[in-house]
Structure 1
Amino acid sequence: MAATGKVDVTKTLDCYRARKGRFDVVDVPDLRFLMVDGRGDPNTSAAFADALGALYPVAYTLKFASKRDLGRDYVVPPLEGLWWAEDMAAFTTGRDKTQWSWTMLIMVPDWVGDGMVDAAISAVAVKKRPARIDDVRCDVLSEGTCVQTLYVGSFDDEAPVLATMHDDVIPARGLRMTGTHHEIYFSDPRRTPADRRRTILRQPVVAADEHGAGGRDTGGDR
Structure 2
Amino acid sequence: MTDKTDFKKTFDAYRAPRTGFRVVDVPDLRYLMLDGHGDPNTSPAFAEAVETLYPVAYTLKFASKRELGRDYVVPPLEGLWWADDPTAFTTARDKSRWDWTLMIMVPDWIDRSMVTAAVERAGARNRPARLDEVRLETLSEGRCVQTLHVGSFDDEADVLARLHHEFVPGHGLRMAGKHHEIYLSDFRKVAPGRRRTILRQPVTSAT
Q: TM-score, normalised by structure 1?
A: 0.90
**Identity over the aligned pairs, expressed in percent?**
66
Q: For residue 181 of structure 1, report the CA deviation from its aligned partner.
A: 0.4
Match of 2:153?
155
Which of residues 105, 108, 111 in structure 1 aligns to 2:109? 111
Distance 1:149 1:88 in 2: 19
Q: Following superposition of structure 1 onto structure 2, how do residues 66-215 of structure 1 map, counting pairs within 5 Å?
A: 66-209=64-207
Deviations 1:106-152 (A, max 9, x none): 00001111000000001112322211001100110000000001111
Alignment partner of 1:11: what SS? helix
User: Matched residues in 2 for 1:146 and 1:98: separation?
Assistant: 26
SS of equivalent residue, structure 1 residue 145: strand
Which of 45-54 and 89-98 deviates more? 89-98
Deviation at 1:98, TM superposition (A): 1.5
Output the amino acid matched with 2:124: V
CA distance in 2, matches of 1:95, 1:19: 24
Once the two structures are TM-superposed, the CA of residue 11 in structure 1 deviates from its matched residue by 1.9
Name the CA shift for 1:148/1:52 in 2 (closer, same or farther; >3 Å).
same
CA contact (8 A) 2:91 2:157 kept: no
Counterparts of 1:151 and 1:103, CA distance in 2? 20
1:91 deviates by 2.3
| SS of alignment partner, residue 134 of structure 1 | helix
RMSD over aligned Cα atoms = 1.3
SS in 2 for 1:191: coil
Q: Which residue of 2 aligns with 1:44?
A: 42
Pair 1:31-2:44 in alignment: no
Q: 2:81 is paired with a residue of what secondary structure?
A: strand
Query: Given residue 56 of structure 1, which amino acid in structure 2 is its aligned partner?
Result: Y
Question: In the alignment, which residue of structure 2 is the partner of 1:60?
Answer: 58
- The amino acid of 2:199's aligned partner reads L
Q: Whole-Å Cα distance in 1 between the matches of residues 94 and 191 of structure 2?
A: 24
Deviation at 1:22, TM superposition (A): 2.1
3-state secondary structure, aligned to 1:126 = coil
Counterpart CA distance in 1 for 2:72 and 2:93 is 37
Q: Residues 23 and 145 of structure 2 are in contact (CA less than 8 Å); yes or no, is this contact kept in structure 1?
A: yes
Q: What is the DSSP-based 3-state SS (H/G/I as helix, E as strand, rest coil) of the residue aligned with 1:90?
A: helix
Equivalent of 1:16 in 14, 17, 20: 14
Q: Distance in 2 between matches of 1:120 and 1:52?
A: 16
Shift of residue 10, structure 1, vs aligned partner: 1.7
| Structure 1 unmatched runs, 5+ | 210-222
CA distance in 2, matches of 1:29, 1:118: 23
**Counterpart-to-counterpart distance in 1, 2:123 and 2:146:** 36
